[in-house]
Chains A and B, each alone.
Chain A
Amino acid sequence: MDPDEKALRADVAKPAFRVGAVDKRWRLIDIAWPHVFIGVVAKDGWEYVLRFNCTGFPASPPTAGPWDMERNGVLPPTLWPKSRGGRLGAVFNPGWKGGTALYLPCDRESIAGHGQWLTQMPSKIWRPSAGLVQYLELVHELLHCRDYAPPVRTAL
């Protein structure tokens, strides 16, 4: 096992990650290295699965986007969390990186080319010592803010 995979597996075994699972805020679904699938629960109880790519973890930030576990592909845009015009919509943007990355300063794909975020939003810059919980806390907070709206889901 490579050091980054070993570090990731140790990270999700830490109490800080586990207590989030106990509180039903998120849960580990699967690890298929270098991908890690984690469900994050929104304020309406809906679970959004994120597929993380954790290559180089923890020195290199992860990148993650909403994932459809049944289709094994990027979640269709109609099923992404919706914005009421506030700050969630900037982060959950299906048009950014083909839907494979959230527009967050702690995301590996999104921080590239955004050096100004280092000074504008230092609290959201990736901290290797905090691990995946840092990313998950930001996503969980967004899925519980007033800007969150569920997608329109139709019965299958």
Chain B
Amino acid sequence: METIDIFYQGLGIREIEHIEVRPDHTVREIKAILTQKHGCAADTLIFIEDRETPLDDHLVIKELCGPGGAKMHLHRCHHVEVFVAFAGKTIHHQFAPGATVARIKHWAAVTEFRMTEEEAGEHLLQIAGTTDRPTPGTHIGTLTSCPDCRVRFDLVPDERVNGSAEKTGDIR
């Protein structure tokens, strides 16, 4: 039987999860499966990764995804408020909870702080006050706690792995 892979993250679901569904499954049916699996609230919304609006319940999954399946996000809020600090300036913007850290970094570094693509590649988003640097594919909604859906980042340089070894045999 033909199936479609759904990879998803969500509020309280930071690690990527996976289910297989039939191509004719509707968003309503997928929502029911995931709500039961994770004990989500009844008003949970489903987003496609990096899309701004939640999916309508009547949509059929085969019309929403490519050959590799679909990447989705489960969340109760429509938006997450994101703050990014860099060089003494803080910017903010609202993103859908399925927005990836990669997309947010691009917005902050290239669009707002006017870095080139290459310069942006030398920087990472780090959650403010921590050493946590979420991977590029992390959905912003996994980093929040409803109803206070906001995340604060610092845009930091990706440091060179360096330094003398404490024992002999180092390359330096």
Contact = CB atoms under 8 A, between A and B. Distances in A.
A16 B160 contact: no
Contacts of B162: 90
* Interface bracket on B: 20 to 34
B169 A113 contact: yes
A57 to B, nearest CB: 18
Interface in A90-118: 90-91, 93, 95-96, 103-105, 112-117
Interface string B1-18: 000010100000001111
B165 A114 contact: yes
Given A103-B171, A113-B169, A90 B121 contact: no
A31 interface: no
Nearest to A16: B16
A137 B12 CA distance: 22
A144 B161 contact: no
Interface string B120-148: 01100010000111011100000000000
Contacts of B118: 146
B167 interface: yes
B39 interface: no
Nearest to A124: B161
A114 B121 contact: no
Given A96-B171, A123-B132, A19 B161 contact: no
Interface in A119-156: 120-124, 133, 137, 141, 144-146
A124 B162 CA distance: 12
B131 A122 contact: yes
A146 B122 contact: yes
Contacts of B63: none
A9 interface: no
A87 B69 contact: no
A15 B126 CA distance: 24
A23 interface: yes
Contact of B5 (A22, A115, A141, A145): A22
A18 interface: yes
A19 B15 CA distance: 12
Contacts of A114: 163, 165-166, 170
B161 A95 contact: no
Contacts of B122: 145-146
Interface in A39-70: none
Given A86-B160, A113-B170, 5 more contacts: A14-B15, A16-B16, A22-B5, A93-B171, A141-B136
Interface of A: 14-16, 18-19, 22-23, 86-87, 90-91, 93, 95-96, 103-105, 112-117, 120-124, 133, 137, 141, 144-146
Question: What are the 8 closest A-B residue pairs judged by CB atoms, nearest first?
Answer: A15-B18, A113-B167, A87-B160, A146-B118, A122-B131, A22-B68, A15-B16, A113-B165
